[in-house]
Amino acid sequence: MAFQNKNLSVIAYANGFTLWHYKENVTLATITASGYFSSLKNLMNTGDIILINGSNGSAIKVITVAEGVVTVGALS
C-alpha cells in the first residue's frame, strides 16, 4: 500500500526538528521500506524522529533524506 497522508501527524516541532507519528494497517516492513515517505522529502529532515504503528507492531526510527529519497533507520 502507498503512503497515506491522512495517517501522518506532527507530535512536536522545535528548532528545525520534528517528531512525527504514522499509523497504518500494513506491516512495519512496508512502512519502513526505503522511499515510502519520499513524497515528503520537502517536509522531513535528516535527524527527525518518527513513531510508527503498523499492523504487526510499533517502532521508533530516525529519518534520513538524501538525493530526494526519504529513508527510516534504527536509532543509534
Average pLDDT, the chain: 96
Domain boundaries, the chain: 10-73
Average pLDDT over residues 31-51: 97
Where would I find the H helices in the chain? 28-31
Average pLDDT rounded to a whole number, residues 8-31: 97
**What is d(CA 29, CA 32) in angstroms, rounded to the nearest whole number?**
5
pLDDT (0 to 100) of residue 1: 67
Query: Phi/psi zone of residue 40: left (φ > 0), alpha (ψ -120 to 50 degrees), beta?
Result: alpha
* Percent of the chain surpassing pLDDT 90: 95
* H-run or E-run covering 23: strand 17-23
